[in-house]
Amino acid sequence: HQTKTPFPQDFLWGSASAAYQIEGAHDVDGKGPSVWDVYTKIPGTTFKETNGDIAVDHYHRYEEDVKLMHEQGLKAYRFSIAWSRIYPEGTGEVNEAGLKFYDKLIDSLIEYKIEPLVTVYHWDVPQALMDRYGAWESREIIKHFDTYCRTLFKRYGDRVKYWITLNEQNIFVGLGYQKALHPPGVKDLKRMYEANHIANLANATVINSFHELVPDGQIGPSFAYSPTYPYDADPKHIIAQENAESLNAHWWMDVYAFGRYPQVIWNYLDKHNLTPTIEQGDFDLLASAKPDFMGLNYYQTATIKHNPLDGVGEATMNTTGKKGSQQESGTEGLFKQVQNPYLETTDWDWTIDPEGLRVALRRIESRYHLPVLITENGLGAFDTLEEGDVINDDYRIEFLQKHISAIQDAISDGVTVLGYCTWSFTDLLSWLNGYQKRYGFVYVNRDENGPKDLRRIKKKSYYWYKEVIERNGLEG
Ligand code: BG6
């Protein structure tokens, strides 16, 4: 019977959001359109044609939302800045009104002693840059992204000490260029790997800029990591699992941490003419940028079997990612994803696996020797608003409780964990699932048919997490 190591005293108990999913005010105070403003208006792209024009109207209600965070005792709040509020055209004239909005938000968080954790990019690239040169598909974006980030670092670097660069690069390139579910909505692996490499260069560039401009701050990317398990001890499945782990995780995290791509996957992609174009100096740049932590978005794990050459071949990557359902999918000759007989799934068919979070944390520590900031973890579920404005989300409490316990196990194992941000603070727009897939501690009274009154209602989990924060963990 072992006692667990307590959470550190300065552990960042937090919660998270992203601009497009909460702000609304899509054309207010000089904001330019992002790719999501445009993409969600194309019929058939989202659930019941939902978009973020109003979202949960956080832009106009941020004071109320921050008060709710304060009342809950949050130590940290992760949010993202909308690039096209700051540079409506992606580049060119800076929009002072956009900068002011985030000034006010940051100041009110600080007033309540809530540490702001700022994501500079949560998928909403300015549409102007998509139109001009295909956004992440052109190296042009590196300097524009750097200018945007330098503006933020200079403006907020005195008050914001934790920064996240790219949110889930693996997901935005995978869904954007392989599965055609996110903008730009294409299926083209060559373009995906090219855009991904350019995103890596942009990520490295702004990490270096940050260290120059905010030397006392910390910065890192947020990776959507779904650890893989071999189906069983058959060596064929072991190799397949290693393939999946490398293709879906090392392909990104090795670049962030070491500045190089994993060789096994490089060889595989090379055989299929899918490796990105490398220019002189690329690897020097990638290796020069050292993240201060690995941001981890954890939702689920994936279970892997051998896949013969004539096997399931529909998709290559991200099929084992959190966005994949549990149906069989994979890459011929590399691996396939199968159901895990030990795990239950959510309403959206994602595995529920708290132990997988411990696995994720240990693997990151072992391979990269970096502290981890858990930037997302949570349960998307249908919630019921009961009489008297009550939401009894015991299932969410159970989910979070088990994941927090797994984090404490990992801390006891020796992993340095800086903080834990649940996804999400208020309910918000799920990119492809409208408003019915709820994640928040705070219910927002709206649905796909309209914004209703948008009133905020504390769920049972809101009160439960308040106590966790007060106790600095589950015990005591
Ligand atoms: C992550 C994103 O992919 O998971 C969030 O960073 C997203 O923006 C969250 O909302 C949950 O995904 P979904 O598809 O359930 O909304």
Which three-class secondary structure string do you get for 338-371? ECCCCCCECCCCCECCHHHHHHHHHHHHHHHCCC
pLDDT digits (tens, 9 = 90+) for 153-201: 999 999 999 999 999 999 999 999 999 999 999 999 999 999 999 999 9
pLDDT of residue 323 exceeding 90, the answer is no
State how far the Cα of 39 lies from the Cα of 185, in Å rounded to an integer. 9
Cα(168) to ligand 1 centroid in Å equals: 9
pTM of model > 0.90: yes
Cα(430) to ligand 1 centroid in Å equals: 6
pLDDT of residue 322 exceeding 50, the answer is no
Cα(92) to ligand 1 centroid in Å equals: 31
**What pLDDT, on the 0 to 100 scale, is given for residue 327?**
61
**What pLDDT, on the 0 to 100 scale, is given for residue 314?**
56
State how far the Cα of 412 lies from the Cα of 401, in Å rounded to an integer. 17
ipTM for the whole complex: 0.98
Write the single-letter amino acid at 147: T
Nearest to 309 by CA among 278, 289, 334: 334
| Strand pairing report for 372-376 and 162-167 | unpaired
Cα(136) to ligand 1 centroid in Å equals: 20
State how far the Cα of 337 lies from the Cα of 168, in Å rounded to an integer. 20
**What pLDDT, on the 0 to 100 scale, is given for residue 312?**
63
Which residues sit with their C-beta closer than 6 Å to ligand 1? 18, 21, 167-168, 171, 224, 297, 376, 380, 423, 430-433, 437
State how far the Cα of 129 lies from the Cα of 87, in Å rounded to an integer. 11
State how far the Cα of 366 lies from the Cα of 432, in Å rounded to an integer. 34
State how far the Cα of 328 lies from the Cα of 412, in Å rounded to an integer. 35
**What pLDDT, on the 0 to 100 scale, is given for residue 2?**
65
Query: Best of 423, 428, 432, 448 to mutate for ligand 1, by most ligand atoms within 8 A of CB?
Result: 423
**What pLDDT, on the 0 to 100 scale, is given for residue 320?**
37
At 337, is the secondary structure helix, strand, or coil? strand
Where residue 53 falls among pLDDT bands split at 50, 70, 90? very high
pLDDT of residue 330 exceeding 90, the answer is no
**What pLDDT, on the 0 to 100 scale, is given for residue 311?**
65
Burial 340-370 (b: 16+ CB within 10 A, else e): beebeebebebbbbbbbbbbbbbbbbeebeb
The residue whose C-alpha atom lies closest to atom 12 belonging to ligand 1 is 430
Tokens found for residue 16: 């998270």
Which positions ≥6 away from 331 have C-beta within 8 Å? 243, 247, 307, 313, 315, 316, 317, 319
pLDDT of residue 260 exceeding 90, the answer is yes
Where does 313-435 show beta strands of DSSP type E? 329-331, 335-338, 372-376, 417-423
Query: Best of 175, 346, 382, 430 to mutate for ligand 1, by most ligand atoms within 8 A of CB?
Result: 430
The structure tokens 């090379």 sit at 270
pLDDT digits (tens, 9 = 90+) for 80-102: 999 999 999 999 999 999 999 99
Query: Best of 376, 382, 421, 427 to mutate for ligand 1, by most ligand atoms within 8 A of CB?
Result: 376
**What pLDDT, on the 0 to 100 scale, is given for residue 331?**
85
Percent of the chain whose pLDDT exceeds 90: 93
The residue whose C-alpha atom lies closest to atom 8 belonging to ligand 1 is 18
Cα(224) to ligand 1 centroid in Å equals: 10
**What pLDDT, on the 0 to 100 scale, is given for residue 214?**
98
Tokens found for residue 437: 């897939």
State how far the Cα of 184 lies from the Cα of 131, in Å rounded to an integer. 10
In contact, 73 and 164? CB cutoff 8 Å: no
Q: Which of 245, 376, 398, 470 is catalytic?
A: 376
Nearest to 297 by CA among 426, 433, 424: 424
Q: Is 376 one of the catalytic residues?
A: yes
Write the single-letter amino acid at 373: L
| Closest-lying ligand 1 atom to the alpha carbon of residue 167 | 6
At 444, is the secondary structure helix, strand, or coil? strand
pLDDT digits (tens, 9 = 90+) for 370-417: 999 999 999 999 999 999 999 999 999 999 999 999 999 999 999 999
State how far the Cα of 405 lies from the Cα of 358, in Å rounded to an integer. 9
